[in-house]
A = this chain, B = another copy of it.
Amino acid sequence: MDFAHSAAARDTIERMTAFMNEHVIPAEKTYFEQLKRGEDWTRWNQPPVMEELKAKAKAAGLWNLFLPEPEYGNRLSNVDYAPLAEITGRSVIAPEVFNCNAPDTGNMEVLVKYGSEEQKARWLKPLLDGTVRSAFCMTEPGVASSDATNMQATAIVEGDEVVLNGRKWWSSGIGHPNCKVAIFMGLTDPSADKHKQHSMVLVPLDAPGVKIERMLPVFGTLDEPYGHGEVSFTNVRLPLSAFIAGPGRGFEIAQGRLGPGRIHHCMRAIGAAEYALELMCKRAMTRVAFGKPLAKLGGNIDVVANARMAIEQARLLTLKAAWMMDTVGVKGAMSEISQIKVVAPNMATQVIDAAMQMHGGAGLSEDFPLTALYAYTRVLRLADGPDEVHRLVIGKLEFKKQAAKFGVAL
Contact = CB atoms under 8 A, between A and B. Distances in A.
Contacts of A364: 218-219, 375, 378-379, 382
A383 interface: yes
Contacts of A301: 298-299, 391-392, 395-396, 399
Interface in A202-240: 216-221
A24 to B, nearest CB: 18
Contacts of A323: 1-3
A199 interface: no
A399 B298 contact: no
Residue among A6, A378, A391 with most chain B CB within 10 A: A391
Given A141-B362, A146-B360, A403-B285, A317 B308 contact: no
A360 B144 contact: yes
Contacts of A218: 364-365, 371
A25 interface: no
A295 interface: yes
Given A295-B399, A364-B382, A220 B306 contact: no
Identical chains in the assembly: 4
B297 A371 contact: no
A391 B305 contact: yes
Q: What is the size category of the interface that chain A forms with chain B? A: 35 or more
Contacts of A402: 278, 281-282, 285
A406 B282 contact: yes
A145 B217 contact: no
Contacts of A367: 216
A309 interface: yes
Given A295-B399, A335-B308, A399-B295, A408 B282 contact: yes
Interface stretch (A61-69, A154-162, A286-294): A286-294
Residue among A221, A365, A378, A396 with most chain B CB within 10 A: A365
A147 B289 contact: yes
Interface in A296-323: 297-302, 304-306, 308-309, 312-314, 316-317, 319-320, 323
Interface in A335-376: 335-336, 339, 342-343, 356-357, 360-367, 371-372, 374-375
Contact residues of A: prevailing secondary structure: helix
A336 B315 CA distance: 14
Contacts of A374: 219
A394 interface: yes
Contacts of A410: 285, 293, 295
B388 A297 contact: yes
A309 B405 contact: no
A383 B403 contact: no
Interface in A257-292: 277-278, 281-282, 284-290
A42 interface: no
Contacts of A360: 144-146, 382, 386
A360 B410 CA distance: 20
A79 interface: yes
Contacts of A366: 216-217, 220
Nearest to A170: B361
27 contacts: A2-B2, A4-B327, A38-B38, A139-B361, A144-B287, A144-B288, A144-B294, A146-B289, A169-B361, A216-B361, A217-B220, A217-B365, A218-B364, A219-B374, A281-B406, A282-B408, A285-B410, A286-B408, A298-B302, A299-B301, A301-B396, A305-B394, A309-B343, A313-B314, A313-B316, A313-B317, A316-B316
Given A219-B220, A299-B302, A306-B391, 15 more contacts: A2-B2, A3-B323, A145-B360, A217-B220, A217-B371, A220-B375, A285-B402, A285-B410, A295-B410, A298-B298, A301-B391, A305-B391, A309-B343, A312-B317, A313-B317
